[in-house]
Amino acid sequence: MNSRTLLNSKTPSNSKTLVAKTPATLDEIKTRVTYALQRHPLCRSVQFEIVSLPRTSRGGNWTVSLRSIAPDALWEASDIVADIQEAYELLIAA
């Protein structure tokens, strides 16, 4: 099982807690990214594509290709995508 590491706020900063990523299909990830971008006023016109990748050493197996993004929305959109990438892993069909 792949996990991500988070700092636990109730323990010293060098203590870490493992939190499993939530498995999701490509369509579910696309829906979550769409809704998250639509909630931010600067990111509503961002166009993107979800890209499946081979699993990395950090446990990731998908990324987002951002297109048609206004310069003032770049940081916000990148932060939104990074948060979703930390929480979800692409469920590979068997």
Q: Which helix (H) or strand (E) holds 89?
A: strand 88-90
pTM as predicted: 0.72
Taking the C-alpha atoms of residue 47 and residue 51, their distance in angstroms, rounded to an integer, is 13
* pLDDT score for 21: 87
The number of beta carbons lying within 10 Å of the beta carbon of residue 14 is 6
Per run of 10 residues, the mean pLDDT along the chain (length 94 residues) is: 43 57 91 96 94 74 88 94 91 67
For the segment 25-37, what is each residue's pLDDT rounded down to a tens digit? 999 999 999 999 9
* pLDDT score for 20: 82
Domain ranges (residues) in the chain: 22-90
Nearest of 33, 61, 60 to residue 47 by alpha carbon: 33
Instruction: Return the amino acid letter for 12.
Output: P
